[in-house]
Chains A and B, each alone.
Chain A
Amino acid sequence: MHEQVEKIHRQVRSEPPNILKTLLALQEQVGHVPVEAIPEIAHSLGTTTAHIAGVLSYYPDLRVAAPGRHIIRVCMGESCYANGCGRVLRALQDRLRTDVGETTSGGKFTLDTMSCAGNCAVSPTVLIDRDLYGRVLPSEVETMLERYR
């Protein structure tokens, strides 16, 4: 962790210290922002741990726990809502036997929601890692997940 923080610090040092950028860069590399890294980040940015923790807890996309190998995000925006995203989410919950924000027992999938992928005209929308699925039907959930075996 020390090396990663150091490296990211060097990358962004040219500008005024930017906590959010630093945390996002760390998450990009490690997959999440471990709470243990807070003191080190605070030290390298010349600020307090409370300041770092405050930013870390504020943003929904910053994670303090390692996610599963694949992250599934179901859009809950209004266009997706109107097109039945609730049913898609329920199908995923049933199939994975996991709740929103949780990871399956084998550590394979993390199930999450999002608020709009800008795919509203082809909704409902499910994002798995970097793959965006549109016009998703609850009955298609099974085959969709099979690609990630």
Chain B
Amino acid sequence: MSSATRLYLSNDTSARAAGAGLLADAWAARPDVQLIRLSSRGAFFLEPMVERDSPDGRVAWCNVQPEDLPSILAGTGGTPVRSIPFLANQTRFTCANFGETEPLALDEYQARGGLKGLEEAFRLTPDAIIEELRVSQLRGRGGAAFPVWNKWKVAQQAKGGPKYVVANADEGDAGTYCDRMILEGDPFRLLEGMLICARAIGASRGYVYCRQEYPAAAVTLRAAIQKADEAELLELDGEPFPIEVVQGAGSYVCGEETALLESLEGKRGVVRARPPYPAQAGLFGRPTIVSNVLTFATIPQILSRGGAWHASLGTEQSRGTIALQLGGRVKHPGLVEVPFGLSLRQVLEQFGGGMAPGSRFKAVQVGGPLGSLFPADGLDLPICYDAFAKAGAVLGHGGIVVYDHETDMVDLARHFMAFTADESCGKCTPCRIGSVRGREILERIQAGGGTVEDLTLLDDLGETMKLASLCALGGRAPYPVLTAIEHFPVEFRSKLRT
């Protein structure tokens, strides 16, 4: 075995879907190959990627087929990883371990700076931890972008225990996959963030609510929890802090924090009226922090590097980095971590590499199925919370999906409304009735039976849903539909009955 060459290959779900599994099968029995399965760098257009060590860092072979093995073993034709522009131009902090480490190797995690944040948290008082987060100006990455320190303060001061820490791993926005990559690829980072939170608010139990569509993530995370437990990490001040992985059951609205808590309790995942907020009365009525996976994963470095370090990145209202997830018809779909502030155009050109072969740009959607659509002349918007809010848009969880010239905007709008009608929890009327009516109107237009009044009706309906819905599912659902009509009116009008 000593003559075997170490080859690094990702075991990430998407890398496998791109062909990494085939390579592993083809090479498993070879005595001259020692395969090390890592997380993925997130440059999915290059997967499957195979890497080797070299004196100047890793060298990569991209879009590898089984028959490429001889040249890899001979060391010919590879590209130094650091000269791949898609990766070299990123600013990776939260995603720094992707493609570098074995997901379940705690020693590697530690060797690359892991657990330093937790050590720091043990040196600090709970108040001082929360102060560090206040200085960092970290805002939640799950969609609502609420200041993290503020929520923690409320939970810390709330009376009555036990208190809970819940990681929202429902990642329901289609077009997003960063949480999945953390769960599958760097699970100790999530656990470290949850432990820091638990210490700050005095929680005694943790949960990770993981979407059912991520089976590999749940397996890796459970194994990571076991390893952390064996290493006696799941303890706070001498008390055990158990963390349990709980599976979802395919409901999008269960990503909304109060519906998620209902679902964790085993009930129908229906949205609760707020207040009280979960930080005051959450799981089983106890003070609970529900935060996104990426939020928790960002916290260890805020403690180890300091809140001021985090606040030095990004823009005035949006500090730190954002993990953008490119999908749809871009040439280079993949994960992009950059400081807030680049424009959509810069991201799509510099990282997205323009359009996929044969495609012409039509629109881009940011922020998942409830996010707004932007046409070609709307791409100069800087990617940060305030600019997006001003434009009536959201960053959501950082999903960016590009649609090409073949996209039928009327069908896409119908697709959005049908999604909302399917996923509405039914608690409030504007969303329950509005989404069904909206879908019917769009179906009518699509079938050629719509009139000008139908477009007015959609507009009115949309305004009502925006204003009167209890949660952001109904409140945001009109945005993709109304922005489609706003930017592509001709497509809608040409389908109307005259």
Question: A residues touching B (Cβ–Cβ < 8 Å)?
Answer: 16-22, 24, 54-55, 58-62, 75-83, 114-123, 125, 130, 132-135
| B contact residues around A132 at 8 Å (CB) | 13, 16-17
B399 and A130 contact, CB distance less than 8 A: no
| A contact residues around B18 at 8 Å (CB) | 122, 134-135
Closest chain-A Cβ to B164's Cβ sits at a distance in Å of 13
- Ranked 8 nearest A-B pairs via Cβ: A77-B174, A134-B17, A79-B327, A18-B266, A82-B328, A121-B44, A61-B250, A59-B249
Closest chain-A Cβ to B181's Cβ sits at a distance in Å of 8
Given contacts A78-B401, A79-B175, contact A118 B180 (CB under 8 A): yes
Residue B61 at the chain A interface, CB threshold 8 Å: no
**With A and B bound together, what is the CA distance between A55 and B13 in angstroms?**
30
Residue B267 at the chain A interface, CB threshold 8 Å: yes
Given contacts A55-B267, A115-B172, A132-B16, contact A78 B214 (CB under 8 A): no
| B contact residues around A118 at 8 Å (CB) | 13-14, 171, 176-177, 179-180, 213-214, 217
Question: B residues touching A (Cβ–Cβ < 8 Å)?
Answer: 13-14, 16-18, 42, 44-45, 47, 171-177, 179-180, 212-215, 217, 246-252, 263, 265-270, 284, 325-329, 333-335, 365, 368-369, 399, 401-404, 407, 412, 415, 419
| A contact residues around B368 at 8 Å (CB) | 78
A117 and B407 contact, CB distance less than 8 A: no
User: In the complex, which of the residues B179, B250, B251, B329 contacts A114, with contact meaning CB atoms closer than 8 Å?
Assistant: B250
- Taking A78-B399, A79-B401 as given, write out 18 further A-B residue pairs in contact, using a Cβ cutoff of 8 Å, ordered by the A residue number: A16-B265, A17-B266, A19-B267, A55-B267, A58-B269, A61-B249, A62-B249, A78-B365, A78-B401, A81-B415, A82-B328, A82-B401, A115-B213, A119-B14, A122-B14, A130-B215, A132-B16, A135-B18
| B contact residues around A123 at 8 Å (CB) | 327, 333
| B contact residues around A115 at 8 Å (CB) | 172, 174, 213, 250, 252, 419
Highest count of chain B CB atoms <10 Å: which of A18, A79, A80, A81: A79
A114 and B14 contact, CB distance less than 8 A: no
| B contact residues around A79 at 8 Å (CB) | 174-175, 327-328, 333, 399, 401
B268 and A55 contact, CB distance less than 8 A: yes
| B contact residues around A59 at 8 Å (CB) | 249-251, 269
Closest chain-A Cβ to B461's Cβ sits at a distance in Å of 22
| A contact residues around B265 at 8 Å (CB) | 16, 18
Closest chain-A Cβ to B422's Cβ sits at a distance in Å of 8
| B contact residues around A17 at 8 Å (CB) | 266
| B contact residues around A133 at 8 Å (CB) | 17
Highest count of chain B CB atoms <10 Å: which of A60, A120, A133: A120
**With A and B bound together, what is the CA distance between A22 and B247 in angstroms?**
12
Chain B binding surface, main DSSP class = mixed
A19 and B176 contact, CB distance less than 8 A: no
Q: List 29 A-B contacts (CB under 8 A).
A: A16-B265, A17-B266, A19-B267, A20-B266, A22-B266, A58-B270, A60-B250, A76-B174, A77-B175, A78-B175, A78-B327, A78-B328, A78-B368, A79-B328, A81-B415, A82-B328, A82-B403, A115-B174, A115-B252, A117-B214, A118-B180, A118-B217, A119-B17, A119-B177, A120-B325, A121-B325, A121-B333, A123-B333, A134-B18
| A contact residues around B246 at 8 Å (CB) | 21
| A contact residues around B369 at 8 Å (CB) | 77-78
Q: Name which residue of chain B comes closest to A28, CB basis.
A: B247
A82 and B251 contact, CB distance less than 8 A: no
Closest chain-A Cβ to B88's Cβ sits at a distance in Å of 19
A20 and B175 contact, CB distance less than 8 A: no
Closest chain-B Cβ to A65's Cβ sits at a distance in Å of 16
**With A and B bound together, what is the CA distance between A74 and B369 in angstroms?**
17
A58 and B268 contact, CB distance less than 8 A: yes
**With A and B bound together, what is the CA distance between A79 and B415 in angstroms?**
13
Closest chain-B Cβ to A57's Cβ sits at a distance in Å of 9
**With A and B bound together, what is the CA distance between A55 and B415 in angstroms?**
26
Q: Name which residue of chain A comes closest to B269, CB basis.
A: A58
**With A and B bound together, what is the CA distance between A8 and B184 in angstroms?**
28
**With A and B bound together, what is the CA distance between A54 and B270 in angstroms?**
11
User: In the complex, which of the residues A76, A82, A122 contacts B329, with contact meaning CB atoms closer than 8 Å?
Assistant: A82
Q: Name which residue of chain A comes closest to B266, CB basis.
A: A18
| B contact residues around A122 at 8 Å (CB) | 14, 17-18, 44, 47, 333
| B contact residues around A24 at 8 Å (CB) | 247, 249
